[in-house]
Amino acid sequence: MAYANHTTDLRFGGFLARLQSFRAMLAETLQQRAVYNQTLSELQALSNRELADLGIHRSEIPRLAAEAAFKS
């Protein structure tokens, strides 16, 4: 009987590890999405002149926001 309990505990521990891994991945994804949204809104708020001064075309904004958020 002790063997059956031991294997059940190992399976449950594996489940907890997968659950913790999923939660960590979800938290990282949400953080990256927040950075993307913040960068996107800040750049979109700039005028065309301000963007030109920075050397950015308005069509580049989504790519730049993605680079800021998802490249680490």
In a domain, 42, yes or no: yes
In a domain, 8, yes or no: no
**Which residues form the domain of 40?**
23-72
In a domain, 10, yes or no: no
| DSSP character at residue 46 | S
pLDDT bracket for residue 20 (50, 70, 90): very high
pTM of structure: 0.76
| d(C-alpha 16, C-alpha 42), whole Å | 39
pLDDT of residue 56: 97
51's CB contacts (< 8 A; 6+ apart) are: 43, 57, 58
In a domain, 57, yes or no: yes
Count of structural domains within the chain: 1
pLDDT bracket for residue 2 (50, 70, 90): low
In a domain, 1, yes or no: no
